Structure 1
Amino acid sequence: MAHLLGAEQISLEYPTKKVFSGITIGLNEGDRIGIVGRNGDGKSTLLKVLAKDLAVDSGRVTHRNGLSIGMLDQSDVLDQELTVGVAVVGNRPDHEWASDPKIRDVISGLLGDLDWSAKVGDLSGGQRRRVALAKLLAQELDVLFLDEPTNHLDVEGVAWLAGHLSKRWAANAGGLIVVTHDRWFLDAVCNLTWELHDGVIEPFEGGYAAYVLQRAERDRSAAASEARRQNLLRKELAWLRRGAPARTTKPKFRLDAAAELISDVPPLRDKVALSKLATARLGKDVVDIEDLSYEIENKNILRDVTWRLGPGDRVGLLGINGAGKTTMLRLIEGQLKPTSGKIKLGKTVKIATLSQEVRELDQFHGERIFNLIAREKSTFVIDKKEVSPGQLVEQLGFTQAQLQTPIEDLSGGQRRRLQFLRLLFGEPNVLILDEPTNDLDTDILTAMEDLLDSWPGTLIVVSHDRYLLERVTDDQFALMGDGSLRHLTGGVDQYLELRRHSLLTGAASNSKLAASSEDSKSSKQNSSLSGAELRDAEKNLSRIERALEKLATEEAKLHAEMAAHDQGDYQGLAIMAEKQSAFNEKREALEIEWLETSELLQ
């Protein structure tokens, strides 16, 4: 494979820290590299060095002649006065960029909910981040450097980005280096992993799962001081091996070796024991939601939702932005009152929430970590053993020296870890985690998951991190955007399939189609139509659904024709655009007819 870029014996040192020491690495065509390591170990710095945006103290970085590189870093560098369209495609004529299938795919995958003419300065931070990513992906580049590209993307957006990067270049072309804490994304995209630690880089074959195995094998032969870290990794490996069948086919390593490594590892969670503990602490009733609706500004956020959570239940909640996830959490916490219906909490329920912003620590300004911990419980029971708060703090990555750090000087990841520990110190029996992976590296996420494995309460997780959802929850539910809640028996894969179907058939119709069969039967029973009228309405509804599916198939064929068509044939492209316009009008008419027919059946 042809060489793209490389670094030879590079070293970089700051006054208080040595970042790199004599590193030699290279990127070849076809390499898709994920960089993992603790926060502060220099992952983002390495990207800037390889892009020649940051000079090193010694050594050299070389690029192949004519190499084009694009970088997504964590700073906001877009011109605030530009519109979204100009920021992404520049001043190119509409027919020029619109005829490029890759650009159309990028826009639909990342910016479908944004106004093309909106000013960048009027967007939220997350929206600007997506615009910056779209601008980068719309270009023809040999190499991409991506620093936390999944931040501000939901589960659906992360899946789209993984698919885009997997097919962006031919198998032996292009190069990708990505820094991310999203372990599912690493497995889906990368064929190599670099672990950056203590100023050096250790390369591993394969994505995150393969990296875990190889690192576990390495750590098995390490000194006794590494025993605790090794056990965490072996437990993580046990979940990888025993997880969904699709996951075990992804890593490129011998499954018999993995089976041997984890042959003596106990189950990840002793569900029976944890359930008994949870029942003893919580009772039979935890959260009972019945016929709940919530409306704001004449918009139904939640509609007739019934959801029951028992002791020891571990559930993940998915949904696009605006579907009502945060509203549901606030209703459960009692911060909001439902428009109708009721929420009943068990008498012994004690809820604790890890919020996205972690502002709860602001009240401790001027205090140090040690003083804050000293006021907590002297012991804490985890995995049937008593451990001190200090031991838990160490498990989540705080050193003894860091215990003297003032609260206001903590990084985002450190604040999140400390607040998570404070929640556990309070011994809640219902724990709500709202995007808990923000600012955390893979090692700390693994440690957090290990703590949750032995926690016996009821767990509700809202996260775009698919790996975390599959790792710590046993059931997933989705708010479908029409106010309904759906149990995802097929997990995250089922949710993504439902969303794909929604995009094909139109959001309005899919919201209705996604309703459960029980809801449909109930609607029919409540209908005021006569028997013959009811049968006619049901037949008409089936006809419309078939027409929508046929229309979606015809649209897909048209898109394929547009992609393969001579881009210089403007007349031909104009004819195809007229066909697309006709499809849009036909779909809108069918959706209106579908909704009108559905109302007859209610």
Structure 2
Amino acid sequence: MAHLLGGEKLRLEYPTRLVFDGVTVGLNEGDRVGVVGRNGDGKSTLLRLLAGRTEPDAGRVTRRRGVRLGMLDQADAVDPTLTVAQAVVGGIEEHVWAGDAQARDVIAGLLGDVPWDAEVGTLSGGQRRRVGLAALLVGDHDVIFLDEPTNHLDVEGIAWLAGHLKKRWAADAGGLVVVTHDRWFLDEVCTMTWEVHDRVIEPFEGGYAAYILQRVERDRMAAASESKRQNLMRKELAWLRRGAPARTSKPRFRIDAANQLIENEPPVRNPVELKQMATARLGKDVVDLLDASVSYDGRTVLRDIEWRIAPGERTGILGVNGAGKSTLLGLVTGAVAPTSGRVKRGTTVRIASLTQELAELKDVQNDRVSAIVARQKSSYTVGSGGSAAELTPGQLLERLGFTSAQLSTAVKDLSGGQKRRLQLLLILLDEPNVLILDEPTNDLDTDMLAAIEDLLDSWPGTLLVVSHDRYLIERVTDQQYAVVDAHLRHLPGGVDQYLAERAKVTDAAPLAAAASAPAAVASGLTGADRRNAEKELSAIDRKLAKTQNEIAVAHERLAEHDQSDYAGVGRLSQELQDKEASVADLETRWLELSELLEV
């Protein structure tokens, strides 16, 4: 394969530490490289060196003549005075970029909810980040460097980005180097993995699953001092092999070797034992949402939610931004009162939330980590049954990646990832029996995510997780729900089912950017076409009214049906879901026709 670029004997030193020493790496046509490693070890620095944004102290970076590079850095910002259109396509005429399939795909995939003529400065942080990513991807580059591109993308957006990068170049063309903590994305997109650690770069064949296998093999052959790390990675490998068939089917994942490594490794969780412990701590009643609805300013956010949360339940919540996930969690915690219906909580329920705001640390910013931990309980039980072990808070901190030196550090001086881990530790030491995690992967590298997941595996309570991190959702929860059209829908098929259903809605809708990008919209309807559209719109109005009446009747039938008749309840639930899906399709078509008739 033809060489694109590379670094030879790279050395980079900052006043307080040596980042790289004698590192040599190369990128060839067709390489799709994922970069992993602990926070602070130099992943982002490596990208900047290879892209030419940072000069090495020694060594050199070479590029093939004519290679076109594109990079999205975490620090990159779009000019706030530009409109979205100017930032993404510049001064290119509308008929030119609208005729480019790649540009249309990028705009539809990333900017469907972003006003095309809005100034970038008026957008949210997440929207600005997506504008920057779109501006990069509409360009024609031979090599693309991406630093945490999945931040601010939901599950759908991440799936779209993975699909786009997989088909952007031919199999033996182009080059991609991406830093991300999203392990599903690494496995889906990357054919190679570079682990940055201890001032070196160690290459591995394959994506995240293959990397974990090779790392376990490496650690097994290493000294005994690596045993703790090895055991954690073995547990991660066991889940990868047992829990996700799509990952294990890849040819480069050496199945026989993996099976041999995990033959004596128990399942990551013992669900029966954990449920028994959870019931003992919680009783049979946790939180029941009974026909609960929530409306704000006349807009219904949640409608007729029926959710009986069980002791030991481990549930992931999916949904697009603004769907109502936070409102749903607010009903569970009591922060949101239902407009109609009711919420019933068990008398022994103690709910704790791992929020994105780090609220637990606000009053202890100047305290040292050791002082905060000393005020907590003296021990914490990890594991269950015969494998249960008592750990001190200090041992738990070590398990979560804190060094002895960091124990004397003030909270305000910790990194974002360290604060996140300390926040989780303080919550667990408070011993809640219902734990809510709201985007818990922020600021954490893949090793720390594995350590936290390992800790959660032995936590005997009810766990509710809202996250755009597909790997985390599949790893720590046993079932998934989605908030769709103000309703809570069970997803027996998990994240794959959710994405498939969302894809149907997206395919039925007009181009996502049509409402704001004039060139992507038809130029109006006249004559017979307009009359036909008006007739179809009128018919849809009638169908919507009829179907919504049928949904109301279906809700009544379901409520009156014998709940012990699982087959009957399942059949009625499926009928209800089908009708709700039909309403979603009709509403999408209604909006599409309305836009055409208004042009």
Structure 1 residue corresponding to 2:472, chosen from 449, 453, 468:
468
Aligned to 1:348: 348
For residue 89 of structure 1, report the CA deviation from its aligned partner.
0.5
Any gaps of 5 or more consecutive residues in structure 1? 507-551, 560-569
Question: How far apart, in 1, do the equivalents of 2:534 and 2:135 lie?
Answer: 30
Q: 1:586 to 1:202 in 2, by over 3 A?
A: farther
Kindly indicate whether residue 397 of structure 2 is the aligned counterpart of residue 393 of structure 1.
yes
What is the Cα deviation at residue 589 of structure 1? 5.4
Match of 1:195, SS state, is strand
Match for residue 439 of structure 1 among 432, 436, 443 = 443
Q: Distance in 1 between matches of 2:422 and 2:537?
A: 51
Cα deviation code 1:332-390 (max 9, x no counterpart)? 11111110111111111111100012132121121111110110111100011101110
Report the CA distance shift for 1:359/1:587 in structure 2 as closer, same or farther (over 3 A): farther
1:351-366 pair list within 5 angstroms: 351-366=351-366
Q: Kindly indicate whether the alpha-carbon contact (under 8 Å) linking 1:206 and 1:251 is maintained by their aligned counterparts in 2.
A: no
Show the counterpart of 1:46.
Answer: 46
Pair 1:578–1:96, CA change in 2 (3 A): farther
Q: Are residue 451 (structure 1) and residue 458 (structure 2) matched?
A: no
CA-to-partner distance for each residue in 1:301-322, whole Å, 9 max, x for gaps?
A: 0000100111110000000011
Q: Is 2:435 the partner of 1:486?
A: no
Q: 1:411 deviation in Å?
A: 1.3
Quick one: distance in 2 between partners of 1:71 and 1:355? 31
Tell me how many residue pairs correspond in the alignment: 539
Structure 2 match to 1:94: 94
Per the alignment, in what secondary structure is the counterpart of residue 10 of structure 1? Answer: strand
Using a 3 Å threshold, how does the CA distance of structure 1 residues 390 and 585 change in structure 2: closer, same or farther?
farther
The 1-side partners of 2:543 and 2:166 are apart by 37
Secondary structure at the aligned position of 1:156 is classed as: helix
Measured in 2, the distance between the counterparts of 1:574 and 1:388 equals 62
Which SS does the other structure have where 1:343 is aligned?
strand
In 2, the alpha carbon distance for the partners of 1:117 and 1:471 equals: 40
Matched, 1:595 2:544: yes
Alignment partners' CA distance in 1, 2:465 and 2:231: 25
Aligned partners of 1:15 and 1:590: how far apart in 2?
71
Which residue is equivalent to 1:525?
Answer: none
- Matched-pair contact (CA < 8 Å) for 1:207–1:251: no
Change (3 A) 1:343 1:362: same
1:495 aligns to 2:503 (yes or no): no
Q: CA deviation at 1:9?
A: 0.2
Identity of aligned residues (%): 62
What is the rounded CA distance, in whole Å, between the counterparts of 1:310 and 1:60 in structure 2? 59
Measure the CA separation in 2 of the matches of 1:93 and 1:586: 35
Matched, 1:419 2:423: yes
Query: Residue 16 and residue 274 in structure 1: after superposition, are their counterparts in 2 closer, same or farther (change >3 A)?
Result: same
SS of the residue corresponding to residue 139 of structure 1 reads: coil
Q: SS at 1:210's partner residue?
A: helix
Q: 1:372 to 1:593 in 2, by over 3 A?
A: same
Partner of 1:164: 164
Query: How far, CA to CA, are the matches of 2:250 and 2:297 in structure 1?
Result: 46
Show the 5 A alignment for 1:46-445.
46-250=46-250, 252-383=252-383, 384-445=388-449
For residue 35 of structure 1, what is the aligned residue in structure 2? 35
Paired residue secondary structure (1:229): helix
CA distance in 1, matches of 2:43, 2:285: 46
For the residue of structure 2 that corresponds to 1:336, the secondary structure is coil
Measure how far apart 1:281 and its partner are: 0.3
Gap change, CA 1:434 and 1:35, over 3 Å in 2 = same
TM-score by length of 1: 0.87
Structure 2 counterpart of 1:470, one-letter code: E
Report the CA distance shift for 1:251/1:469 in structure 2 as closer, same or farther (over 3 A).
Answer: farther
In 2, the alpha carbon distance for the partners of 1:392 and 1:578 equals 66
Shift of 1:114: 0.9
SS in 2 for 1:118: coil
Give the drift of 1:244: 2.5
* 1:494-539 per-position Cα deviation (integer Å, ceiling 9, x unaligned): 0001101111234xxxxxxxxxxxxxxxxxxxxxxxxxxxxxxxxx
1:187–1:251 CA contact under 8 A, matched in 2: no
Q: Distance in 1 between matches of 2:392 and 2:548?
A: 60
* 1:584 Cα offset (Å): 8.0
Match of 1:547 in 2: none
SS at match of 2:159: helix
CA offset at residue 594 of structure 1?
Answer: 3.0
> Is 1:11 paired with 2:14?
no
* Cα shift at 1:162: 0.2
* Alpha-carbon spacing, 1:591–1:57, altered in 2? closer, same or farther (3 Å): farther
Name the SS for the 2:56 alignment partner. Answer: coil
Deviations 1:223-258 (A, max 9, x none): 111111100000000000101321211361221111
TM-score between both structures, scaled by the size of structure 2: 0.87
* 1:35–1:194 contact (8 Å) kept in structure 2: yes
Change (3 A) 1:435 1:48: same
Give how far 1:267 is off: 1.3
Quickly say closer, same or farther: Cα 1:288–1:212, change in 2 above 3 A.
same
Kept after mapping to 2: 8 A contact 1:191/1:207: yes
Tell me the secondary structure at the aligned position of residue 217 of structure 1: helix
CA contact (8 A) 1:209 1:251 kept: no
- Equivalent-residue separation in structure 2 for 1:30 and 1:587 (angstroms): 48
Q: How far apart in 2 are the matches of 1:277 and 1:159? A: 36
Cα separation, partners in 2 of 1:38 and 1:575, compared to 1, 3 Å: closer
Q: Secondary structure at the match of 1:99?
A: coil
Structure 1 vs Structure 2 CA RMSD: 2.0
Q: Deviations over 1:400-439 (max 9, x none)?
A: 0011111111111111110000011111110000000001
Q: 1:161 to 1:575 in 2, by over 3 A?
A: closer
Give me the whole-angstrom Cα distance separating, in 2, the residues matched to 1:155 and 1:574: 27
Superposed CA offset, 1:162-200 (max 9, x none): 000000000000000000000000000000000000100
C-alpha distance in structure 1 between counterparts of 2:297 and 2:250, whole Å = 46
* Amino acid in structure 1 at the alignment position of 2:345: L
For the 8 Å contact 2:209–2:253, the answer to whether it is kept is no
Rounded to whole Å, the distance in 2 between the matches of 1:17 and 1:592 is: 67
Q: Secondary structure at the match of 2:294?
A: strand
- Counterpart CA distance in 2 for 1:103 and 1:584 is 29
C-alpha distance in structure 1 between counterparts of 2:106 and 2:359, whole Å: 35
SS at 1:455 equivalent:
coil
Q: Distance in 2 between matches of 1:575 and 1:347?
A: 59
Structure 1's 272 and 2: CA in aligned 2 closer, same or farther, altered over 3 A?
A: same
Partners of 2:163 and 2:120 in 1: how far apart?
26
Secondary structure of 1:341's aligned partner: strand
Residues 318 and 586 of structure 1, relative CA distance in 2, 3 Å threshold: farther
Amino acid at match of 1:401: A
Paired letter, 2:395: Q
Structure-2 change in CA distance of 1:125 and 1:273 (3 Å): same
Counterpart residue identity of residue 14, structure 2: Y
Secondary structure of 2:543's partner? helix
- How far apart in 2 are the matches of 1:148 and 1:587? 45
SS in 2 for 1:185: helix
CA contact (8 A) 2:145 2:176 kept: yes
Tell me the alpha carbon deviations over residues 577-598 of structure 1, each in whole angstroms, 9 at most, x when there is no partner.
979x979878755643431332
The 2-side partners of 1:64 and 1:114 are apart by: 37
